Structure 1
Amino acid sequence: NRNFILSTSDATVLHVATDGTSFEKVMEEAKQAVNAIACHPRQALLAVGSRCGLLKVWDYQQTTYLVSRIFPEAGVRCLSYDPEGYFLAAGFTDGSVYVLDAISLQSSCKEFKFSRGPVTHIGFSHDSEYLATADEKYAVTVYKRVRQNGSGCWEHLAGLYSHYKPIRSILFGVQLESDEPRLLSLGEDRQLVEYDLNSSSKDHLVVLHRDRVEQIAVPLCLAWYPQLSTESFILTANNCYKMKLYNTTTKMCRKTLLGPTYGSPLEKIQILPATSPADPQKRYLVYITKDKVGLQILPVDGNPHKSSAFICHPDGVSDLANSYDGRYVFTAGGNDCTVMKWEVNLNALDAAASLGGKDLTPFYNLLDDGREGEFFRELEDYFYYVQLRSHGIDTLETRQVSTRILLEEIPSVMRAMGFYPSEEKIEEMINEVKFSKYVDTGEQVTKINLGDFIKLYINHRPAFGLSMKEIQRAFQVLGYDNENGDKVIDRGDLLLLLQCRGEHMTEDELAQCLTTLLGSHAGGGGPELDTYDPSGAAALTEEEIPAEITAEIFAADILGLPIAEPENKNTK
């Protein structure tokens, strides 16, 4: 009789002898979700943690298992090596934090239990002086290193409930002038919080800055942008498929860019280590979405050919790590209990970007029907019309036609092209162009050409156009059910909301807009804004707007937007 190998449903492999009842455990793997992975900063080692409490370290070059430890009390939720690779910090589902020896996985100091919920993020500062965690109860906790008997350990410094929605990232950085550590946290509450570590004391974590980084979108991840220009940036990605660059000092939004659009927004981003000594400016970013892993060429500029993505875990990817030399990327699949190793092929991505065209070609292709289409010709017409308007329509003098328009005209042309930005978004767009050369030349830009306008339009407009669902969602929140069960807003309430909430309008601005919108429906052609007559605004509003307004009436009859016909409920 021959011996045989047996595998169980809970990921245990046994070697069974047929001549008796003896068996030998060959291998034991994760029985529950694998949510945490981390790569060693100097060696080919990968730490993998699972919800069943199993922590394993693998040599990913040799694909050999090195050491493991089981934590019976709780599951591993997040992992991080310190920059030197001496320690491995682990955050657990019961809120505990362990700092382990990176080789033996034995505890280097007593476990910490200062978090009231599962620890979701963990990381060391560049000098290992600080360790920070974020948890599901929206708290950031900081630990400071202390020297004991010649060896270093960490002790609890302070914690703070600095967000009121889930924390998406915590990030250590370096002060440019002093080499001191910086700590930032980013939450779904749209707040980017920076902490003053030097001024913080026992049980008192000091906030240095708190900045709202989004108006409507929800930020999902955060990274330090490589120094590819004179200015230093923080990079974020949001749930509207946009990537944004913020000045590291002022936190001013300096650029908004179209990010990768592969079915779901970016969930985590990491900058790959520089791989080309000959060209240090050649940098890449690796990211995960809900179920894909991908690469992006830096600098980000909105060109869709500069990114690629592959499905890595169909049921969802939970974590991401990249090797110290940038050659490999690892993804954890959560409930599928697997970790995938990906080899990075930068040449293939560079080739795809080259084939996508140079300069403005990739951006023309993102316009309806490209450069030869009606949309592009319409945009050119608006550019010339804006110049006519700025010179004065009623003149017979010879005009100087230019290929550039004043920055103040950007909102009008954007709206004419079917993109309706908020006032805050307009300010961001104008500042983006105005200060684009300021760091290098000290001068502000006052005009924009057609090519740069197209890039601005593509990077700022909604990635998938206007959605009726967004208007319907607003009516769900603001409206009430009428007799037919439809969500409606009372006409008076709507006018009041537009004047009192959000980026509210004055009564005169509202009357002017409604007269223009409703006048265009009633009279066939809308009046110029400068020819507005306030006297008939109230009567026109009552005549044209029903007492109860549905989302469809608001979109089609008031705003004049084309909307799809609702499906007949009786048709199948």
Structure 2
Amino acid sequence: MDTKNQENSTSDNPTATASNALNLMWSFGINRNIPVVNMASDDRKIVLYATAHTGVLYDYETNKQQLLQGHCNSISCICVSNDKRWVAIADQGKDPTIVIWDAQNMLIYLDDTRVPVQTFFDPHKNGVLAMTLSNDSKYLATLSASQPQELCVWDWTSADNNLLHTLQLDEDIPLQTHISFRPDDNRMLISNSERQVVFYSWQFNELLYDVPSLTDKDFNRTVGNYCQSVFIRNVIRAFTATSVGNIVVWDNKGKDKRGLPLKKALKIVRVQEKAITYLTTIGNYIVTGDCLGHVKFYDTEMRLTNCVDLERNEYPRDATIHGSTFVIPNFIVSTSLAQIAHIVSDGSHVEILIKGHDTAINALATHPTEPRLAIGSNSATLEIWNYNTKQILRNRIFDKPTLIQCIAFDPKGAFIACGFTNGIIRIMDAITLEDLPQAIFKYSKDSISHACFSHDCKYLATADDDFAVSVYKSQLKNKDEPWVYLGRQRAHYKSIKGLMFGIALDTNLPRLISIGKDRVLVEYDLNKSSKDDLQMLSTDRIEQSAIPTCITWYPPITKENFLLLANDQFKLKLYNSTTKMCRKTLLGPTYGSPLQKMEILLQENPNGNRYLAFITNDKVGLQILPIDGNPHRTMALMAHPGRVTNMACSYDGQHIFTSGGSDSTVFMWKTNIEALEAAVHLGGEDMVPFYNLMDGGREGELFAELENYFYYAQIRTQGIDTMESRKVSTKVALRQIPYIMRALGFYPTEQEIDDMVNEIKFSEYIETEKFVEEIDLESLIKLYINHRPAFGIPPGRLNEVFKILGIEQNGQYTIDRGDLLKVLQSKGEHITESELAECFGTLLGYSDIGGSLETASYYPTDNSETLLEEQLSENISANTFAEQVLGFPISVDQTETQNEANSN
């Protein structure tokens, strides 16, 4: 990285738009699969490259970035006009776009808001695989990413985005991965796949194409796989590079009946032994790049003129046959190792501008007191960045094939722990990255997934993919052995989703807690643990059906000490850190996927609010604390087009960092708390946001029903048959909560009922030491909104249950009637035979609520099982259960079909 102008770089990009709560400020990394474009001019040194779903204009003299956003998918291709003014960026995937930018204005006006000049939505069904701009910048040609492949030519400068030509290639033509215009004739294009070259020509406002044949037998030599194809100005011939070091020269062989120029392979020139990976032109030179890092220049007769060896940093000044002067401008090259180099043409100087990661990035950590960011990748490379100056302070490459999976700084910033996929944990000096003496441990055969230090720096805990937690203890007074292994405990039987240290309120000693996919919360007894004997203090099953996804300590904004846990049902739950009782269930952020990691920002606003940063599968967001279920107190935006693998927050809460895994990119986001607070008021005050979460809102049928049920519950509490005067109240007894919830179509389990009742019952106990015995209407609405399923119960859920418990017969999964009754009584929450009979009596319509089959006056019997045998078939399918027992209006299969059609 060029560091000569680091002092001019600031942590904030002056061109960034700060109107959002989160604003992308910097991109660490590069997409090595997309060629880098040299945008340099006389007064600016700029390169253009792609990272994840963002284009980057990087000024390597001033060390500043212009970030070109607007895509939801990974960028698939970039092209630039001949004058380097217009930049077109396209992506590939669902809802694809092509965005065209005026690079000249962005580089001149540093305060520009970076609004694109043109955007094409859904240009092709699955996005764009390749595209190019004509020499005069007037036309844009795009190739679709799906077969049969489609070629479109756009007059993008016209007001109505005129689509000039659309051409569908035959299905037997392989996907064309590269395309370019002829420099001196906009009516001619060339494209190629690995095995086929296609020539295109406009004739009488019609786009035609020719597919010349070329096999190994034609010239009695191996052709190889095609790399890229180009035209040269004022030359009829076209050139294609191959994987065996050949250049195929194409020439005209006449025209067909339609007037389409036909091409043929004139000759194959073997220019080198190794594969050519890139082909382009500079002036009248044909330029190749190969797998060995050589850049070679040829004239139109395919004679070698000059060569650059990037690996040896060699650049001969004069390699021409006649000894003539070789003159070309400085140029940029990018490598398969995610490096960008600047080549000075008048000497032998090769300057490395960017060293990115060529493998996935999963490990991130920030320094506790300084602006430092640690990045670890699957290439076994650990980097320490100063994220204010964007300068690498230190890096270390470990022996392969070890892959870095997690990183953690200690609270003082003196040490850094690094966990690897082979089970090794290293404790290093945070400045030099050198291993501490006797501080390389391998007590696991599986990948280290989590690592964290205690607040007093005395303990380091790790979790691995073998569902085990290991603890290491500090003994810094012993310089020869500053860290020792304390013990290992396999406390979970499924993957560990969270590992963290806390502080005991009464003793200030560290507490260690882990949460697993097995729904078990484990606390470890560090005081009673000894070498090779890590003790557990408690194990609690804290979820009934939901799967925990992440956990953190709730900040001290309440008198009660809480653990904050997120699950896969889009709920956030507060648990008393001592009793492990669920004290509150709240609707969490609902941005397509559950929370995968969350962290409290060390930042407050003048109102005293605290904030929670989080990531989902593909988004990063912020949540205002305290959490109450109001969706307007949270925001999120697309972080990476694939999967967000990790998140880290700066020590001052000003920045959030996210890694994109396979996209080899880390994004730096600037937090804007004022914008987040302002957005809250747009959703309304007090109960308005919760009314809006109900179907129909405050004036809808659901609210009216809930209001009626609320007053019916008052009548039921006072007695239905009483003749005494009714007492009008604004509250109902807590024991009426389950009846109201079920009347609204929400059927909580007994455990969920206990959680709801306890949430209200203990809500004021810390302040008053008294239990709450009643609930008002507004609190009941919040309770209903926060506890009900975030997206309802999908009809397909019933089919999933029958697939698990049943046997396939004639394309349907069925359960034996007796087995179904047995499962209902023996699995899950306990239910007696009489309670089961009561439920079926109500569902089948033979008794009132609270009655059973035995008490049905019009269907007298003392054998409920016999009645069920008469009413239910011997083998019960999901449709039968839905229609006959639950009373669904349509079958499960029909519902799934409708849902699939709606989603499509």
Per the normalisation by structure 2, the TM-score is 0.60
The one-letter amino acid of 1:70's match is I
Q: Secondary structure at the match of 1:214?
A: coil
User: In the TM superposition, what are the counterparts of 1:61-210 in structure 2 within 5 Å?
Assistant: 61-73=388-400, 74-110=402-438, 111-148=440-477, 153-210=482-539
Identify the match of residue 601 of structure 2 among 262, 269, 272: 272
Structure 2 equivalent of residue 238 of structure 1: 567
| 1:463 corresponding residue in structure 2 | 790
Counterparts of 1:5 and 1:301, CA distance in 2: 53
Query: 1:490 maps to what in 2?
Result: 816
Q: Distance in 1 between matches of 2:344 and 2:654?
A: 42
* Equivalent residue number for residue 260 of structure 1: 589
Superposed displacement of residue 154, structure 1 = 1.2
Residues 234 and 245 in structure 1, CA contact (< 8 A), matched pair in contact too = yes
CA contact (8 A) 2:407 2:419 kept: yes
Unaligned runs of 5+ in 2: 1-326
Aligned equivalent of 2:726, options 388, 391, 399: 399
Which letter maps to 1:321?
A: A
1:152/1:226 CA distance change after superposition, 3 Å: farther
Secondary structure of the residue aligned to 1:554 is helix
> Of the candidates 365, 377, 383, which is equivalent to residue 692 of structure 2?
365
Aligned to 1:527: 848
User: C-alpha displacement at 1:222, in angstroms?
Assistant: 0.5
Alignment of structure 1 residues 502-517 onto 2, 5 Å: 502-517=828-843
Instruction: Tell me the distance in 1 between the aligned counterparts of 2:389 and 2:538.
Output: 46
Q: Secondary structure at the match of 2:656?
A: strand
Which string of whole-angstrom CA distances, capped at 9 and with x for unpartnered residues, describes residues 342-392 of structure 1? 000111111111121111111111111011111111111111212222222
User: Does residue 804 of structure 2 align to residue 477 of structure 1?
Assistant: yes
Check the 8 A contact 1:275/1:325 in 2, yes or no. no
* 1:108-143 deviation line (CA, Å, top 9, x unaligned): 233111121111110110011000110111111100
Q: State how far apart, in whole Å, the 2-side matches of 1:566 and 1:475 are.
A: 13
Deviations 1:479-502 (A, max 9, x none): 1112x2210111111111112221
Whole-Å Cα distance in 1 between the matches of residues 432 and 335 of structure 2? 28
CA contact (8 A) 1:52 1:72 kept: no
Output the CA distance in 2 between the equivalents of 1:207 and 1:178.
18
CA contact (8 A) 1:320 1:329 kept: yes
Aligned partner of 1:253: which letter? C
Q: How does 1:385-464 map to 2 (within 5 A)?
A: 385-464=712-791
Q: Secondary structure at the match of 1:566?
A: helix
Task: Confirm or deny: 8 A CA contact 1:515 1:540 kept in the other structure.
Answer: no
The structure that is helix-richer by fraction is 1
Amino acid paired to 1:527: D
- Are the equivalent residues in 1 in contact too, given 2:519–2:542 (CA < 8 A)? yes
Runs of 4+ in 1 over 6 A off after TM superposition: 19-22
TM-fit CA distance, 1:438:
0.7
Within 2, Cα distance between the matches of 1:563 and 1:258?
Answer: 29
Q: Which stretch of the first structure deviates more once superposed, 344-353 or 22-31?
A: 22-31
Report SS of the residue matched to 1:339: strand
**Offset at 1:160?**
1.2
Shift of 1:72: 2.1
Report which stretch shifted further, 311-320 or 541-550. 541-550
What 5-or-longer segments of structure 1 have no aligned partner? 521-525
Counterpart CA distance in 2 for 1:149 and 1:184 is 28
The 1:431/1:551 distance shift into structure 2, 3 A limit, reads: same
Cα deviation code 1:483-538 (max 9, x no counterpart): x2210111111111112221131111111111111116xxxxx6242586444444
Q: Is the 8 A contact 1:518 1:540 kept in 2?
A: no
In 2: Cα distance, 1:479 partner to 1:173 partner: 45
Cα deviation, residue 27, structure 1 = 4.0
Q: Which residue in 1 is equivalent to 2:30? A: none
- Larger deviation: 100-109 or 539-548? 539-548
Q: Report how far residue 12 of structure 1 moved.
A: 2.3
Q: How does 1:21-32 map to 2 (within 5 A)?
A: 23=350, 25-32=352-359
Cα 1:449–1:149 change in 2 (3 A) is closer
Alpha-carbon distance in structure 2 between the residues aligned to 1:371 and 1:14: 62
Measure how far apart 1:23 and its partner are: 4.7
Contact 2:403 2:421 in 1 (8 A): yes
**Structure holding more strand per residue:** 2
CA distance in 2, matches of 1:226, 1:15: 49
* Matches for 1:320-335 after TM superposition, within 5 Å: 320-335=647-662
Amino acid across the alignment from 2:834: D
Letter in 1 for 2:451: I
Contact 2:461 / 2:472 at 8 angstroms: preserved in 1? yes
**Match of 1:419, SS?**
coil
AA aligned opposite 1:508: S
The 5-angstrom pairing of residues 298-309 of structure 1 reads 298-309=625-636
Q: CA distance change for structure 1 residues 8 and 391 in 2, over 3 Å: closer, same or farther?
A: same
Deviation at 1:397? 2.9
Which residue identity does 1:346 align to in structure 2? I
TM-score by length of 1: 0.94
Residue number in structure 2 paired with 1:51: 378
Structure 2 partner of 1:546: 873
Once residues 478 and 529 of structure 2 are traced to their aligned partners in structure 1, the CA distance between those partners, rounded to angstroms, is 25
Report the residue type matching 1:384 in the other structure: Y
Task: Say which SS state the counterpart of residue 529 (structure 1) adopts.
Answer: coil
Q: 1:8 aligns with which of 335, 343, 355?
A: 335
Match of 2:616 in 1: 289
Partner-residue secondary structure (3-state), 2:441: coil
Q: Answer yes or no: is 1:353 the counterpart of 2:680.
A: yes
Aligned to 1:523: none
Q: What displacement does 1:427 show?
A: 0.8
Identical columns (%): 50
The alpha-carbon distance between structure 1 residues 263 and 109, as it changes in their structure 2 partners (threshold 3 A), is same
**Could you tell me which of 547, 553, 559 is aligned with 1:218?**
547
* Cα displacement string for residues 392-423 of structure 1 (whole angstroms, at most 9, x for unaligned residues): 22233321122211111111110110001111
Cα distance in 2 for partners of 1:89, 1:275 equals 29
Output one character per residue of 1:455-480: Cα deviation in whole Å (capped at 9) or x when no partner: 01111100001222222111111111
What is residue 827 of structure 2 aligned with on the other side? 501
2-structure distance, mates of 1:19, 1:364: 71
| Deviates further, 98-107 or 295-304 | 98-107
What is the rounded CA distance, in whole Å, between the counterparts of 2:679 and 2:777 in structure 1? 26
**Corresponding residue SS for 1:376:** helix
1:60, CA displacement in angstroms?
Answer: 0.8
Counterpart-to-counterpart distance in 2, 1:164 and 1:210: 13
Looking at structure 2, the residues matched to 562 and 457 of structure 1 have their Cα atoms a distance apart, in angstroms, of 25
Q: Distance in 1 between matches of 2:626 and 2:738?
A: 26
What count of residue pairs does the alignment treat as equivalent?
Answer: 563
Seen in structure 2, the aligned counterparts of structure 1 residues 28 and 92 have a Cα distance that, compared at 3 Å, is: same
Structure possessing the higher radius of gyration over alpha carbons = 2
Greater shift in the superposed pair: 485-494 or 259-268? 485-494
- Give CA deviations for 1:190-234 in whole Å, capped at 9, x if unaligned: 011000111111110000010111000000101000111111100
